[in-house]
Structure 1
Amino acid sequence: MAREMSSSRTVSADSSQVFEALLPMPLELVFVHWHGPLPPVRSTVGPEPWRTPRQQRRVVLAGPGWMVETLTEVDPPNGFSYHLDQVHGPMRALIASVEGRWMFESGSFGTKITWTWIATPRAAARWLMPAFARLWTGYANKTLGHLEKILAAKVSPS
């Protein structure tokens, strides 16, 4: 059974600014921290700019491992969705695939960014999903904190 995990943060920028900054941003600039066994992204191999549904790229992780990301939906300025599969490296034993989504909701104090993963575990690893969800939430919180700093430097406040 799939496990949904989500983390949010509000940033001082308009949702269209956040959308336009984040969608094409290289993953290696966004995912820079280790959190327990969850690695940063080393590089991506695939089409640029990253903007069109059905585009695919290989996401190369620090340490061993990579996965294939397919952009599944682009809904400016509200968000975008993607699918991860063909997982290689240490996460292969745990994760079969992921449905991911970045959502941007404008409000009076800026834009609420919500990052969601719906992870489908491998059958033998289902019992590990509660622990993985706690690790992923820590990873997501670090990532959103880092992203807030990047966006503060890239976009003007709303």
Structure 2
Amino acid sequence: MLDSFVRDMRSDRVGLVRAARRAYLLGLVALTLPGAVLGVVLLLARPAPMPFPAVLALLVLALVLALVALRLARSAAGNTELPARQAALTGAIQAATAPGVPLLLAYATLSQGLSVGLFLILAAVMHAVVWTQVPGWVREPEAES
């Protein structure tokens, strides 16, 4: 996997898009895997259910944070002061936060099925947005010296 990642990083724009998407997925896993473990621990502790208005407030907060993260990632990827490869990876890794926030909140509410479902839907939507936007963020890489 590392060989193909390095190969994609050194290739043309299409390869750089593949590398950015891999970096995004790795960032998402690194962000959410510890949350999954903590979510299971919380589930075993059987926490008191969260009132539905609080769940809705957290859902709105997750949406706002995900949109801010997406905007910051897009800005980082579009930074022309950075080489194209570095900008693409920086933006892609930062973009992992957009679906990561709702996923972490889903793990925190594992004991409540509806809450988990709402956060997972938001995470899936944000993932789809990031996945489709990453190619637009990647510039043609500069020639290596």
Q: Common fold, TM-score beyond 0.5?
A: no
Greater share of helix: 2
Q: Which has the higher Rg, Structure 1 or Structure 2?
A: 2
TM-score by length of 1: 0.28
| Structure whose residues are more often strand by fraction | 1
- TM-score norm. by structure 2 comes to 0.30
